[in-house]
Amino acid sequence: MARDERVTLLEVHQALPEEQFQSLKFLLEGQVPAGLLLPASRPELCRILLQRFPGNSLRVTAGILRQLGRLDLIQRFQLPLEERIPEEAPWEPNGETPKVQGDPASGPRPGGIPAPPMNSRRLTEKDLMQVAQRLGKEWQEVGILHLGLERSRLEQIQEENPGNPVLWHFEMLREWQRRERQEATVSKLRSCLQHARLDPGILDFLQSLQGD
């Protein structure tokens, strides 16, 4: 059984393009130390996951694949998915934002935090990754002029994720999301990016999310 798990895991990793393989490692950082993940090759990552999640590595991988939008790989390799979300998990296996007590229709949330409007849900990591994949070379200009981030922080992001532009874009968007907290909604990000020099497909994508 262990051998079957290893073989399947390696086949899943080999089916990912390099960019998505790096994204998978990035999204695993909440559960595996970055020092182990960043230099790991595909076979090495299989070994790490099998050691840290014995008998459960395929389930963990499936959760990350859902965030990357690779449901096709989950189906092709018949990967198991979590039926419920562990409390300590830093991400949602179904790519959705964790539910907060109370919902937009029930008025203010505990602690006096207003709920986002009904038609503007909060952004998930999957949403941010899909925006990140569409950003181009002007990402720093977007971050400084339209998201209000510091240039020094953007340079730090580059140093922490060498040679991986998609992760630069993703981490920049997460920095904005952390700052905005409850206000990090689809409509807020679209409003921020409305006058930026970027692929028009990004605004179209965010518009489609508002209609979900």
- Domain ranges for the chain: 5-77, 125-210
How is residue 150 annotated by DSSP? -
The percent of residues above 90 in pLDDT, for the chain, comes to: 22
Q: Residue 182 — pLDDT band, cuts 50, 70, 90?
A: confident
| CB count in 10 Å sphere of residue 153 | 13
Q: Any idea which fold 5-77 has?
A: Death Domain, Fas (1.10.533)
Q: Of 180, 189, 195, which is closest to residue 113 (Cα–Cα)?
A: 180
Average pLDDT over residues 85-91: 40
* Alpha helix positions (H), the chain: 2-15, 18-27, 34-37, 42-52, 57-67, 71-76, 125-132, 139-141, 151-160, 165-180, 186-193, 200-210
Range in 42-56, 96-110, 167-181 with the lowest mean pLDDT: 96-110
Q: Which carries the bigger pLDDT value, residue 108 or residue 38?
A: 38
- Matching fold, domains 5-77 and 125-210: yes
Can you identify the CATH homologous superfamily of domain 125-210? Answer: Death Domain, Fas (1.10.533.10)
Average pLDDT over residues 149-166: 90
Indicate whether 152 pLDDT > 70: yes
pLDDT digits (tens, 9 = 90+) for 96-136: 444 444 444 434 444 444 444 445 688 888 899 999 999 98
Classified as helix, coil or strand, 82 is: coil
Q: How far apart are CA 198 and CA 40, in angstroms?
A: 33
Q: How far apart are CA 207 and CA 211, in angstroms?
A: 7
